[in-house]
Amino acid sequence: MMKTLNLVSSLALVVALAGNACGHEGHDHGQPLAVSVALDAQGNLWRASAKDGFVVVDKSLAVNPLIFASPKNINEKAQKIGTSGDARPKIAIAHNGNIYLTWTQALPTPYSGYIWFSRSIDGGKTFSPPSIVHQDRAEITHRFDALSVSPSGRIYVAWVDKRDLIAAKKTKQAYDGAAIYYAFSEDAGASFSAERKVADSSCECCRIAMLANEQGDAVMMWRHLFVGGVRDHAMAKISANETNPKIHRASFGNWKIDACPHHGPAIAKGGDWGYHLAWFDGGDKAGLFYARMDGEAWVSSPAKRFGDANSQTGHPALISDGEQVWLAWKEMTDKASLVKLVKSNDGGRSWDAPAVISQTKGKSDYPQLLLKNGQAYLAWNTELDGLAWLKVAQ
Amino acid sequence: MKLMFKHYLMKLSLVIGLLLSQQVLAEPLKPFMASSRMEIEKAHQGQPMIMAFWSLDCTYCLDELSNLGEFVKKHPKVKLVLVNADGLITRQEVVKALKQIKLPATYESWQFSEPDEERLRYSIDKAWYGELPRTYYYDNFHQVKAVSGSSDLIWLKSWASKF
């Protein structure tokens, strides 16, 4: 009888454990493909990815491209790290060689998360114990981290935040969407400022594009909820000295929708006049668009369409060097996923014909463009062919 | 001994309970593959149907499913097919989320089960870019209307007035 009882107890335990195992974030679809890459001054390629609940950083030497070595786990305990849709761990390298990382930890409450930061001040030999960037520790949305470091070394971290939505709900006030918040560091990431709000009523689930500039400011672009539920894009310049940034409308597609597009924009510096913008717009005209934004007058040029219809055109990457601009995006055919590229030699006024620069038959990440000695490179993580890394058209 | 037997029965019922709860969790979600859309369309040929794609990560989705659930309760001729686009790793969270909303007594629930979810989406509808909720309204003749985002309730009423 005792034996039977023990057997029953063990069986119960096994079943209970099996239940727990299912409840845990599993990895039955392989490791996430969502990675970020950055180049250091020596041309070495650094990569941030997520594996088994850890943010992992590894690097490939300039002389040995794509041979990644010395992977390091950054967080001490396993976390559920945001890698789906527009979420991914971020990496940025400062002029002095410091390496900065951010990522979003998903918390048990739906849509909630914390933004974490870690740094290396010894060229990637060691990384600091991670810390949470924001002072607000409520288990609410702090997600879709964006990271950028200015040439002078000021670090900006921005994210999508729902504290204002929750406060509005408590007092039964109407509030659309989420908000964009940011914090900055003046001491190379040893500490961060208290967080500040950029804008109310952002889209809830799209990445923020952010670029810190020579003046130590940062320009950001995000999908915004304009009056009437229209999800177009907004831009703002944020700085350490100003607390009330002006919001400028950057796109005019008038996509009116109560939905999560999971599809954020891209920006690049446009000479001394402003910025190059690329974004996905949905609805009847669904597709990828490009415009120039004047950084003084904050007026954007008419949107130019790129990519084929019905090919899932989207997820743009932009990079510029003087008057040269490269725009890459992802498309899909019945047989493969593609990265297409167009180049402009006149600051985005005219463009060459698009060309397929990489393709893969399996699952793939979104494309990223980097600049190395004035040449543009594509980084594209794929399941079957690994990380594609190639010099693109000159 | 009698006490022990009672104890045994309690343990046994615990095990059965646990097994059943696993069963209940496992049962409602069918694997949605590249061929599933056609399979579902065939199974409900000649019947009005709403095929609703949703995600745990979409803040509008559960309200939309709730509204569709209420709507189908009033229009029982319309079949409701829910497809979660998060992938198998979220199975338990999906079941839990569905339990928290009011759905009609009968509906089908599927979950994305292909390794390449982008390609699966492409195979379902090339004009769908991943925005959620995404809902397909099939009339009796399976003329389909695709809607991204929350559905307009006035339009929904006029659509249903045909059945």
* Domains of chain B by start residue, with CATH: 30-160 (3.40.30.10)
Is residue A175 within 8 A of residue A168, CB to CB? The reply is yes
Q: Quote the minimal CA–CA distance from A158 to chain B in Å.
A: 20
Q: pLDDT band at B108, cuts 50/70/90?
A: very high
- Tens digits of residue pLDDT in B35-59: 999 999 999 999 999 999 999 989 8
Structure tokens at A284: 């009847």
Kindly provide the ipTM of the predicted complex, given to two decimals.
0.84
Chain B contact present for A337, CB below 8 A: yes
Q: Provide the residue count of chain B.
A: 163
Upstream peptide bond of B133 is cis (omega within 30 degrees of 0): yes
Which of 353-382 (A) contact B at CB < 8 A? 362-364
Q: What is the pLDDT of residue A13?
A: 39
Pairwise pLDDT comparison (B15 vs A306), residue with the higher score: A306
Q: Quote the minimal CA–CA distance from A241 to chain B in Å.
A: 34
Q: Quote the minimal CA–CA distance from A161 to chain B in Å.
A: 13
Residue A316's closest CA among A248, A225, A237, A223? A223
Nearest CB to A259; choose among B15, B126, B149: B149
- Tens digits of residue pLDDT in A73-119: 999 999 999 998 999 999 999 999 999 999 999 999 989 999 999 99
> Which regions of chain A are under pLDDT 70?
1-30
Residue A116's closest CA among A140, A99, A132? A132
Q: What is the DSSP string of A151-173?
A: TT--EEEEEEE-HHHHHHHHTT-
Residue A368's closest CA among A277, A266, A272, A294? A266
Q: Where are the domains of chain A?
A: 31-264
Structure tokens at A308: 């084929």
Structure tokens at B140: 């009796």
Is residue A241 within 8 A of residue A293, CB to CB? The reply is no
- Tens digits of residue pLDDT in B114-162: 989 999 999 999 999 999 999 999 999 999 999 999 999 899 999 999 8
CATH class name, domain A31-264: mainly beta
Q: What is the pLDDT of residue A393?
A: 79
Q: What is the DSSP string of A243-296?
A: SSPPPEE------B-SSB-----EEEEETTTEEEEEEEE-GGG-EEEEEEEETT
Q: What is the pLDDT of residue B5?
A: 52
Q: What is the pLDDT of residue B89?
A: 79
Would you say residue B29 has pLDDT above 80?
Answer: yes
Residues in chain B with CB shorter than 8 Å from the CB of A259 are 58, 60, 131-134, 148-150
Q: What is the pLDDT of residue B94?
A: 93
Whether residue A259 and residue B134 make contact (CB cut-off 8 A), yes or no, is: yes
Q: What distance in Å separates the CA atoms of residue A61 and residue A253, rounded to the nearest whole number? A: 43
